Amino acid sequence: METKELRRIFKNNLVHFLGTKDEPHQRLADAVGVSSGTLSDWVQGNAYPRPEHIAAIAEYFNINPGDLTNDPNVTNKLSRQEQEILDLYKSIPSDKQAFAFNFLKTLKVSE
């Protein structure tokens, strides 16, 4: 998936969850340990957070990290561990994803 698409999905989900809490954005930024400018970049879809920030945001809202990174219009029935692996893969720069994928293929047990 393209970085732009990942940012769009994350942005839409973040905006949704921000709308469920009647709190200022600064409180989330403080809880996650980022500047208000960084949070603003995420809300506007100009940047994508690192995995540890996604985890902190999910904890703040008491949700699964996949609720922030997955397109809600796509049915997804992954286990928590599978979702975590997918989230980590998505966080890898696109020029390194092929390397990560090929490495994972080497770990596959032959049938």
| CATH code of the domain covering residue 8 | 1.10.260.40
Q: Is residue 111 part of a domain?
A: no
Write out the chain's pLDDT in tens, 111 residues: 678 889 999 999 999 999 877 668 899 999 999 999 999 999 999 999 999 999 999 999 989 898 999 888 775 577 778 878 888 888 888 888 889 888 888 988 765
* Domain-located, residue 87: yes
Work out how many domains the chain is built from and give that number. 1
In a domain, 70, yes or no: yes
Residue 110 has a pLDDT of: 65
Domain-located, residue 110:
no
Q: Is residue 73 part of a domain?
A: yes
- Mention every residue, 6+ apart, whose C-beta is less than 8 A from residue 68: 10, 13, 14, 17, 54, 57, 58
| Domain containing residue 77 | 3-103
The secondary structure of residue 62, as a DSSP letter, is T
Q: Is residue 12 part of a domain?
A: yes
Kindly report the pTM of this predicted structure. 0.65
Does residue 21 contact residue 31 with C-beta atoms inside 8 Å? Answer: no
- 65 belongs to a structural domain: yes
Q: What is the CA radius of gyration of the chain?
A: 15
Cα–Cα distance measured from residue 44 to residue 12, given in angstroms and rounded to the nearest whole number: 9
Does the residue 109 lie in any domain? no
